[in-house]
């Protein structure tokens, strides 16, 4: 007896995986497999390691429960998932803000570099910008911070951010402009990408 052919899950669009999961809930694992690491990195940057796992788990639980309302005309589920994740992070808003306040006072570097000279250079650059950047992020409104970080860390386009947050693309642009202006002002003339500071 020959087994029925199984479609290659990696070739399947997000919309078709979500649609298939309505009849076979196990098919939703394709969405988890594709995006869990990406969402975790984003949540880790915003919330820190102590809350990232929780908000990502809550995001996928909400996505699974709400999959019947997913717009199947959208083949890419990233904006939808980032929208859910952003709402989950909003429920932890005080924790996120406290994290940025704590980072604003921190000046140590925890990364691993190849040589002692690179370590020193990285610590100097990171220490000089970290406090000001974290303070600027903490001082942004939640709406402006969401847009800025979805573009910078989530690597979403304006249209994807608009879809994720349910706002017009023009609003994304104005919030992003306002957030960037405030962050630039907080950093002053310091540019961590230039070595001759």
* C-alpha dihedral, 181 to 124 to 51 to 66, nearest 10°: 40
Q: Determine the 3-state secondary structure of 72 from DSSP.
A: coil
**What digits encode the pLDDT tens for the residues 106-131?**
654 444 444 555 555 455 445 556 67
**From 19-23, 89-93, 162-166, the region with the lowest mean pLDDT:** 89-93
Confidence of residue 103 (pLDDT cuts 50, 70, 90): low
- Higher local confidence (pLDDT), 171 or 194: 171
Confidence of residue 187 (pLDDT cuts 50, 70, 90): confident
Q: How far apart are CA 26 and CA 157, in angstroms?
A: 30
Predicted local distance difference test score (pLDDT) of residue 130:
65
- Higher local confidence (pLDDT), 5 or 93: 93
Numbered ranges of CATH 1.10.10.10 in the chain: 106-197
- Higher local confidence (pLDDT), 57 or 7: 57
Contacts of 39 (CB under 8 A, 6+ apart): 56, 59, 81, 82, 85
**How many C-alpha atoms does 135 have within 13 Å on its Cβ side?**
15
Total count of residues recorded for the chain: 197
CATH number attached to the domain at 13-91? 1.10.1740.10
Predicted local distance difference test score (pLDDT) of residue 96:
64
- Higher local confidence (pLDDT), 177 or 194: 177
Predicted local distance difference test score (pLDDT) of residue 113:
47
CB atoms within 10 A of CB 140: 21
Predicted local distance difference test score (pLDDT) of residue 84:
96
Which of 98, 89, 22 has the alpha carbon at shortest distance from 59?
89
Predicted local distance difference test score (pLDDT) of residue 93:
67
Contacts of 52 (CB under 8 A, 6+ apart): 40, 43, 44
**What digits encode the pLDDT tens for the residues 61-100?**
999 999 999 999 999 999 999 999 999 988 876 666 666 6
Predicted local distance difference test score (pLDDT) of residue 139:
85
Q: Is the pTM of this model over 0.85?
A: no
Q: How far apart are CA 180 and CA 90, in angstroms?
A: 20
Numbered ranges of CATH 1.10.1740.10 in the chain: 13-91
CATH class of 106-197: mainly alpha
Exposed, middle or buried, 174 (CB in 10 Å: 0-12/13-18/19+)?
A: middle
Give the residue ranges of DSSP H helices in the chain. 14-23, 29-47, 49-65, 78-91, 93-105, 116-139, 142-152, 158-165, 169-187
């Amino acid at each position: 007896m020959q087994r029925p052919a199984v479609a290659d899950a990696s070739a399947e669009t997000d919309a078709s995986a979500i649609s298939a999961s309505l009849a076979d809930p196990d098919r939703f694992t394709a969405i988890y497999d594709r995006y869990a690491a990406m969402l975790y990195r984003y949540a880790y940057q915003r919330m820190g390691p102590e809350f990232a796992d929780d908000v990502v788990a809550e995001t996928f639980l909400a996505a699974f429960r709400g999959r019947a309302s997913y717009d199947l005309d959208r083949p890419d589920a990233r904006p939808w998932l980032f929208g859910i994740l952003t709402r989950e992070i909003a429920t932890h808003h005080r924790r996120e803000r406290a994290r940025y306040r704590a980072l604003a006072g921190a000046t140590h570097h925890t990364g691993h570099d190849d040589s002692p000279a690179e370590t020193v250079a990285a610590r100097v650059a990171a220490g000089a910008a970290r406090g000001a950047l974290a303070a600027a992020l903490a001082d942004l409104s939640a709406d402006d911070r969401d847009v800025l970080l979805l573009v910078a860390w989530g690597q979403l386009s304006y249209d994807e951010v608009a879809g994720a947050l349910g706002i017009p693309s023009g609003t994304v642009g104005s919030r992003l402009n306002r957030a960037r202006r405030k962050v630039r002002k907080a950093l002053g003339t310091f540019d961590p990408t230039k070595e001759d500071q």
